[in-house]
Structure 1
Amino acid sequence: MDPRSEVLLRQPEHFNGRTLLAGLPADDLLTHFPDARGWTWHAGDDAYFQARFPGRVDFGTSAPAQPYDTAVLFLPKSRELTDYLLNVLAALVPHGTLYVVGEKRGGVERAAKQLTLLGTASKLDNARHCQLWKVSQPSATPVRLHERAECFELNVAGSTLQVTSLPGVFSHGRLDKGSALLLEHLDHLPSGPLLDFGCGAGVVGATLKQRYPESNIHMLDVDAFALESSRMTLTANRLEGHVFAGDGIAAAPIGLGAIISNPPFHQGVHTHYQASETLLREAAHHLRPGGELRIVANSFLKYPPLIEQHLGPCRILAERDGFRIYQAIRR
C-alpha cells in the first residue's frame, strides 16, 4: 500500500461519503472506500484500476462530473499542476472538504501554502513521511485547463513551430536542452511510420510531421496532460498525427520506420528508468527491418550496452550540454 494511502486509512471517518480521489496511486485504497471514485491521468495506473476496480476510475484531464462531499488530491510533482488541480477540486466541493496528501520530500508543505489560498488550511495527520492537510468549504473560481497553457515558438531547420504546453508536462513552457539537441539531428530518417515515444508537449512529433509530411506520425505518452498538449500543438500548426495513451513501448504499433525519443526517467519525486530501459530492450519488436532507434539521453546513463545487446551497433551522433544522441539500426 502506498504510504499516502496508509495516511488516509488512519482517518477513515473523513472519507466515507461521496469522495473523489484525484491522482490516487495504483493500490487497493478503493477497497476501503466503497463510495469513492478515482481520477487518474496516468495510463499505467488506469490499466490497473480498470482490471481491479472496473468503472470506478476515470482517465483524462477532466474530473468526473458527479456530486462529491469530499475531494482528495494526491500531490503531483508539478507546482503548476497542483495549483490547477486544487482549483478544479475546490470548485467541485464548495460546501465540502478538500484534502491534500503527499510526501514531505515531495513538497506537501509547499502545497499546504497553496491550499491556504482556498480557505483556512489545517494539518490533519503526519505519518509515513507524509502529511495530510484539509480546508473546509474551499473558495475557488472555476478554471479551464486550456487557460493554463503556456505557448512558445521554435524555429527548427527553417520552419516555425508553435508549441502548447499544459501544467504538469515535462519542461512546461520551454524547450529542454536534450530535446533541443535532438531536434538538430532528425535528418535522414528511414521511410515508414515514425513514433515519438514520450511525446510530452508534442515538440518532436510535430517537428517530424513538418520534416516528413508523407510519414504517418504516432505520438505516445503515459500522461493525459501530455497527450492533450501534443494534440494542441498539432492543431496550432495544422498538422496531423495519431496521439494515444500507453504505459511504455508495448502500446506502440509494430512495423515502424523509426522510434525517436527523449525518453523519460523521472516520475514524481522518485527516479525510474524502467520505461526507458524497456524501450531499449523492446524497440526491435516494433521496428521494421532496417528501422532506426534515435534517442537523446543524459551522457551518464549507461544506455549503449543495452542498445547493442537488443538492437544493434550503437552510434553517437552528437554530444552537448551533458546529452548524447544515440542511433541504432535494427539488424
Structure 2
Amino acid sequence: MERHDFFSQHPNTFFVNPPADAVLPTDAWAWHIYAHARFVNRPNSLVSHTLETLRSHTQPVSMNDINTVLIFIPKEKKLTGYLLENVRSFFPVGIQVLLVGSKDVGIKSWANKTMPGFSRTHTAAIGNHCQLLHTQLEEGNAFAQEYGFSRTQIEVLGHTIEVSFLPGVFSEHRLDAGTQLLLAHLPTDLGGVICDFGCGSGIISKFLGTTKPVSELHLCDLSALAIAASQRTLATDLNCHYYLADGLPAQLPPCDWIISNPPFHQGKDTNYDITKQFIQKVATKLKSNGSLLIVFNQFLPWPTLLEDQFQNIRIVASNKSYKVALAKHPRTRN
C-alpha cells in the first residue's frame, strides 16, 4: 500500500493503532494504545486504553468528517478483537473499515472472515509482505465500561494476588518466569518510595504493597492498556501514582527503589531503545542512597550499561534464562 496513494483515495480516514514510525496526515485523527512521545504531543491523537475517551476530548471529532477507519492489526488476536469492538461502539453503522498488517502478524487469518457486527472481510490490496482487508460496520454496540477487562488470582510466593488484565498486556493471567525470579530475590531492606517501571498489569507493585513497607508506589508503562489494568489491580491501594509514558516521566519524584522487568517487545517488534534510555536515566530518578533492581534475559547486555550509571552492580539471582541485578550508588543524580 503506497502511503500517498492511500491518503489521496481515503482523505477522511481515522487511524487506529498506527505504528510508532507512522507518518500521519497533519489533520488526521488517530487512536493510539502506546504512549510514544511524538503521538502524545500530537493534537489530533488520542492515547488511551479505550476509544470512548475521545467523546470527552478537548477537540471532539466530528463523525461527519470521517468515512474510513484504518486499523493496524497487532499480532495478538484478542487485542485485534478489542480494537474492533471499540470501533464498533464508537463509529456509526455503515462506515467502511480497513485492516492492514503484515504476514507475520497474521493478517491472512483475518481474510474472508465475519466478525461480530461487521460484514465479511475481503482483500482490497496485497503487497510483498502485507495485506489490506475491507469490511463494513453493519451493527453497532453500546460501549461497556468493563469490556475487555478480566481478573485472575495468581499465587506468588505463598501470597494470592488478584490481578486485572486487558488484551495485549504482558503475561496475561500468569506470573512470567522473569518476574517470578525477581520477586523471589527482593532485598530485605526494600521499601519507601518505589517506582515500578514497565508495570504491566501491576503484579509487582501489588506484591510489594502486600509484603513490603511501601510509602508510595509509582507505576510507569508505555501501554495505555497496562496502565488501565494496573489501576484496577491496585484499586484499593493508597498512594499509587500512574504514568503513561515511553520512558521515566519528568514528574517522577526521587525514589528509594526503582524495580523493573523492562520490556523489549511491543507487539511483534523487538525494541531495546526504551530500556536503554531507562538505564541511562534511571540514576537521575533515585535518591543518593537509592537502588535499582532489574530482571532481564541472559542474552541482553544490560550489566555493561548499568556499570556506566552505578558504582556497585551485583547479580543477585540467575538461571538459564534470566538474571536479576541489584545496582547501588548512582554515579549521577539530581
State the TM-score, normalized to the length of structure 1: 0.87
Separation in structure 2 between the aligned mates of residue 161 and residue 114 of structure 1, nearest angstrom: 38
Structure 1 runs (4+) deviating above 6 angstroms are none
DSSP-derived class of the 2:311 partner: coil
Tell me the residue number matched to 1:38: 30
Partner residue in 2 for 1:292: 291
Write the distance in 2 (CA, Å) between the matches of 1:282 and 1:13: 42
User: Pairwise mapping of residues 109-258 of structure 1 onto structure 2 (< 5 A)?
Assistant: 109-112=108-111, 116=115, 118-127=118-127, 129-139=129-139, 141-142=141-142, 144=144, 146-235=146-235, 237-251=236-250, 253-258=252-257
For the 8 Å contact 1:307–1:313, the answer to whether it is kept is no
> Displacement, 1:74?
1.1
Q: 2:78 is matched with which residue: 80, 105, 108?
A: 80
User: Aligned residue for 2:10?
Assistant: 15
Q: What is the rounded CA distance, in whole Å, between the counterparts of 2:297 and 2:277 in structure 1?
A: 17
For the residues of structure 1 that align with 2:114 and 2:173, how far apart are their CA atoms? 24
The share of aligned pairs that are identical, in percent, is 31
Q: Secondary structure at the match of 1:20?
A: strand
**TM-score normalised according to structure 2 size:** 0.86
Q: SS where residue 111 of structure 2 aligns?
A: helix
- Give distance in 1, aligned partners of 2:67 and 2:176: 41
Kept in 2, the 8 Å contact 1:177–1:321? The answer is: no
Moved more, 176-185 or 238-247: 238-247
The 8 Å contact of residues 154 and 174 in structure 2, kept in 1 or not, is answered as no
Unaligned runs of 5+ in 2: 56-60
Q: Name the structure 2 match of 1:70.
A: 68
Q: How many residues align?
A: 317
CA separation of 1:179 and 1:115: change in aligned 2, threshold 3 A: farther
1:306 corresponds in structure 2 to: 305
Distance 1:50 1:178 in 2: 30
Match of 2:58 in 1: none
Aligned CA distance change for structure 1 residues 59 and 16 (closer, same or farther; 3 Å): same
Answer yes or no: is the 8 Å Cα contact 1:146–1:166 preserved in 2: no
Further displaced range: 289-298 or 158-167: 158-167
Contact 2:124 2:134 in 1 (8 A): yes
Provide the rounded CA distance (Å) in 2 between the counterparts of 1:131 and 1:271. 21
What are the superposed Cα offsets for residues 81-112 of structure 1, whole Å, 9 maximum, x if unpaired?
10111122134242111111112222211233
Residue 194 (structure 1) shift: 0.4
Taking the aligned partners of 1:136 and 1:14, their CA distance within structure 2 comes to 17
Residue 49 (structure 1) aligns with:
39
Return the offset for 1:256: 0.9
Shift of 1:164: 0.6
Return the alpha-carbon distance in structure 2 between the equivalents of residues 114 and 247 of structure 1. 35
2:29 is aligned with what amino acid? R
Structure with more helix by fraction: 1
Q: Does 1:61 align with 2:53?
A: no
- Check 1:150–1:73 CA distance in 2 against 1; reply closer, same or farther (3 A cut): same
Contact 1:220 1:252 in 2 (8 A): no
TM-align CA RMSD: 2.3
Equivalent residue runs for 1:277-288 within 5 Å:
277-288=276-287
Q: Is the 8 A contact 1:254 1:285 kept in 2?
A: no
* Matching residue of 2:326: 327
